[in-house]
Amino acid sequence: MAVSHLSVSSWASWHFFATSSARRWTIRSPCPVSSQLVMLLEWWSGTECVIYTDPRAYPKYGKENAIVVLNHKFEIDFLCGWSLAERFGVLGGSKVLAKKELAYVPIIGWMWYFTEMVFCTRKWEQDRKTVSESLLHLRDYPEKYFFLIHCEGTRFTEKKHQISMQVAQAKGLPSLKHHLLPRTKGFAVTVRSLRNVVSAVYDCTLNFRNNENPTLLGVLNGKKYHADLYVRRIPLEEVPEEEDKCAAWLHKLYQEKDAFQEEYSRTGTFPETPVVPPRRPWTLVNWLFWASMLLYPFFRFVVNMVSSGSSLTLASFVLVFFVASMGVRWMIGVTEIDKGSAYGNMDSKQKHSD
């Protein structure tokens, strides 16, 4: 019996080690792809991001698991969230609650699918079970992470804002000037699923100086933007457990975020102490490594094709290059505000019951 118990215990220990090691490898493997985009933001375009936060909370960033609640108004707000995670050394393990369509985006979407990202259809009847199950997998995640969630569900536009405020009025909720009405059920299930694992909610409010309207295409073209990010650390114990109370708490949070944005529009600054976390060289080193591995063979291949003189070969290369360019442009289009979800359609209004 002792031998049998020892064998079972040894097998369980080995299985845990193997599973944990495989999971860590999975965590690390997609990070170079995410870091490519962060490199474009931080090193290629030189975009600066000043963080305004409580100096007492700052040392905890990157040392704990956190739910990051970010406003959803700009085409590159997700990139700023990734940059925040990278600056504090948790980009490799960080997750997002993303719309399911993004899972089909080549490379990035596939990477997210296989690395425990959480996808939703934004139809709560379908999402209730799948989102909860996906979140429960993060309870034993082997590394620190930020879980990024856009509670508004879609990017801010004037049309969406008008419809959203009609919903707010019908529900007797205060109007918001700079945000859409937050969808509370996804946030509530996130808090419930990750309680006692996540230490805090990081309330992040993003804006850009001089009324800049940043785009991913602008970043790719090397345009520099100037971002300001207000980060408040709220211990998770302060977020109510009951769904109704949690919803009321989130609505109050967005009223506070709206006040911060209004103050920023008047003064050009956020409260608290400004600080610029240093850029880590990892994203640049990673890009240089992959560039040296891929670009030299690619150029050799192009030169050989051109020197071959075959019209069919050259035509095939031009076709492949054209298709690849269209694919990249399509992926950029996914981030564009005017290509966002149709918030406010009749179906959406009927289902926006949270």
Other beta carbons within 10 Å of 284: 16
**Mean pLDDT of all residues in 129-144:** 83
131 contacts 120 by C-beta, under 8 angstroms: yes
Q: Which residue has the higher pLDDT, 342 or 111?
A: 111
How far, in Å, CA of 83 to CA of 76, rounded? 10
Residue 137's Cα: distance from chain center in Å?
Answer: 18
Give the closest residue to 276 by CA, choosing from 46, 90, 73: 46
Query: Distance of alpha carbon 44 from its chain centroid, rounded?
Result: 20
The structure tokens listed for 119 are: 């996808």
pLDDT, greater one: 40 or 117: 40
Is 90 exceeded by the pLDDT of residue 14? no
Calculate mean pLDDT across residues 265-294.
Answer: 89
The tens digit of pLDDT for each residue in 78-134 reads 889 999 999 999 988 888 777 766 666 666 666 666 666 777 776 767 777 778 888
**Does the pLDDT at position 12 exceed 60?**
no
Residue 344 has a CB neighbour count (10 Å cut-off) of: 20
User: What share of the chain in percent tops pLDDT 70?
Assistant: 72
Q: 255 with 76: CB under 8 angstroms?
A: no
Amino acid at 328: V
Closest to 214 (Cα-Cα) out of 98, 55, 49, 351: 49
CA distance 30 to 51: 26
* Mean pLDDT over each residue of the chain, to the nearest integer: 81
What is the average per-residue pLDDT within 26-40? 72
- pLDDT band of 135, cuts 50, 70, 90: confident
Contacts of 220 (CB under 8 A, 6+ apart): 40, 44, 332
| Across 109-113, 195-199, 223-227, 230-234, least confident range | 109-113
Find tokens 């505000």 and name the residue: 337
In percent, the amount of the chain with pLDDT more than 90 equals: 46
Backbone angles phi, psi at 178, to 5 degrees: -115, 5
Q: 20-34, 113-127, 219-233, 242-256: which range is least confident on average?
A: 20-34
Residue 337 has pLDDT above 70, yes or no: no
Hey, how many other C-beta atoms are within 10 angstroms of the C-beta on 126? 12
pLDDT at 338 over 70: no
What is the 3 state secondary structure string of 209-239? HHHCCCCHHHHHCCCCCEEEEEEEEEEHHHC
pLDDT over 50 (residue 36)? yes
Reported as a pLDDT band with limits 50, 70 and 90, residue 32 is low
DSSP 176: -
pLDDT in tens, 41-71: 999 999 999 999 999 999 999 999 999 999 9
Residue 21 scores a pLDDT above 80: no
Identify the CA nearest to 243 among candidates 178, 200, 284, 191.
191
pLDDT in tens, 190-210: 999 999 999 999 999 999 999
45 vs 225: CA distance, rounded Å? 8
